Structure 1
Amino acid sequence: MAQNYTEIFSVFQKYMEEEESAREKIREIVKEIEQNSREIITLLQGIHKPQGLSQISTLCQKGREQFCNIKVLFGKLKEIIPVDQFHRYHDHWRFVTQRLIFSASFIVYLESGKLLEREEGAEFLGVSANPNDAFHIELDDFLLGLLLLADELTRLSLNSATYGDYTRPVQISEFVSEMNVGFRLLNLKNDSLRKKFDGLKYNLKKVEEVVYDLSIRGLLPSQKLDKETDGSS
């Protein structure tokens, strides 16, 4: 019996059209997510302004509120992605996820001085932290987001010292040092992660230099307290 090539390739064509339609919908949603991500990052950049350190609570609260839109948009993505096809489309939102994790980790650090946990990061996005779930946050994306945080904290350390907050650079140095220890425990096979980890070591050196500079100038909080004590005796 002769094969009907027209019918065979019509099925292929229909599949390709459905595939392209799904990707177009995904691109539209990801575009919105990227716009919201830029707005959150722009908001948090206010920390680096002269009065930014006194507005941490307000900026973090506004940042958390903007993540409500992120949750809605990721919810729309979950509705589009077919079951068991997460990895087929994941590249569309991989990089914006990393930036969102950076923003979430920056908010958590500013609020508590703590490192964002994977489950907490997933909650910011309204997705699962469990890799066995259909729609989840990939570990590599989470870790790359944390490494972006180290870049931002290096900048914050320098600006804090400039604006007369000499305690914060010490706290940042200790935090980045702990991050460095933690990442050293990992066997990083992802090329992007390994390269970004090299940047973490550079950031650690920079924040330690800020603390050292404050130390030799006698501006560390403990040194100032010692001077005040000596002066009163």
Structure 2
Amino acid sequence: MSVTEMFSYIQGFLSADQDIREDIRKVVQVLEQTAREILTVLQSVHQPSGFKDIPSKCLKARELFCTVRNHTGELKTKFPVEQYYRYHEHWRFVLQRLAFLAAFVVYLESESLVTREEVAKILAIEVDREKGFHLDVEDYLAGVLILASELSRLAVNSVTAGDYGRPLRISNFINELDSGFRLLNLKNDPLRKRYDGLKYDVKKIEEVVYDLSIRGLAKEQESGGDK
């Protein structure tokens, strides 16, 4: 093979790779748009009127996840199965965002932590990397940490809405989450930095609970008070 032929071959390889990346970007853009729509639906729970309508908001979000599943199914076809991590950077952020949204829906429905397997099922992707397009462990953990920040905000807004019991439950949940993350030896720098922010979420929620306690509102909520 001559030098010219060699570089022509390389150019063909680069062009094919660029075509794959462009196809992936188009699908990811649609996924990002759907993620924004889900977030818009769920953000309304922070409003005083939204607390009374949480089940319907979660139902609407679940319906939008059907659209997400269609797009993840399309995304799987855009690259060779064995080259997941070659193109992972293109969809890493949106998968983390979708993992957070799935975790937020599950928390609003049951006040429990969604598992990685549940998130994968909601997104119609795999858990095991050997099976191809999957939810990477670090992407799942990043989504859970975004959830912690969202719940710290929800704790504050719960008080505004007159729901004094929710911040106490959120505090217990976040403390359990913090204990779980302390068991991990995180090597991923972006994930580690995001985890460092968890302590601020814990502190913010503790301040809300403390304020409720000194005002007697937490005890009143536990005893069924209507104030």
Q: What TM-score does the superposition give when structure 2 sets the normalisation length?
A: 0.95
Aligned twin of 1:199: 197
Aligned twin of 2:80: 82
Contact 1:71 1:126 in 2 (8 A): yes
TM superposition shift of 1:223: 6.7
Aligned twin of 1:172: 170
TM superposition shift of 1:80: 1.2
- d(CA) in 2 for partners of 1:91, 1:42: 25
Gaps of 5+ in 1: 229-233
Aligned twin of 1:10: 8
Structure 1 residues 183, 25: closer, same or farther in 2, change over 3 A? same
- d(CA) in 2 for partners of 1:221, 1:52: 24
1:197-227 superposed Cα distances (whole Å, 9 cap, x missing partner): 1111111111111111101001014576398
1:20-42 superposed Cα distances (whole Å, 9 cap, x missing partner): 11111001000101111111111
**Between the two proteins, what is the percent identity of the paired residues?**
51
Contact 1:29 1:73 in 2 (8 A): yes
Aligned twin of 2:89: 91
The 5 A counterparts of 1:40-189 are: 40-189=38-187
Contact 1:166 1:221 in 2 (8 A): no
- d(CA) in 2 for partners of 1:224, 1:60: 26
- d(CA) in 1 for partners of 2:222, 2:51: 21
Secondary structure of residue in 2 paired with 1:51: helix
TM superposition shift of 1:50: 1.4
Structure 1 residues 113, 227: closer, same or farther in 2, change over 3 A? closer
- d(CA) in 1 for partners of 2:191, 2:14: 34
- d(CA) in 2 for partners of 1:140, 1:153: 20
- d(CA) in 1 for partners of 2:141, 2:18: 31
Aligned-CA RMSD value: 1.6
Structure 1 residues 127, 223: closer, same or farther in 2, change over 3 A? closer
TM superposition shift of 1:11: 1.6
The one-letter code sitting in structure 1 at the alignment partner of 2:51 is: L
- d(CA) in 2 for partners of 1:63, 1:139: 23
Secondary structure of residue in 2 paired with 1:166: coil
TM superposition shift of 1:132: 2.5
- d(CA) in 2 for partners of 1:79, 1:57: 34
Larger Rg: 1
Secondary structure of residue in 2 paired with 1:93: helix
Aligned twin of 1:231: none
The alignment of Structure 1 onto Structure 2 pairs a total of residues equal to 226
Q: What TM-score does the superposition give when structure 1 sets the normalisation length?
A: 0.93
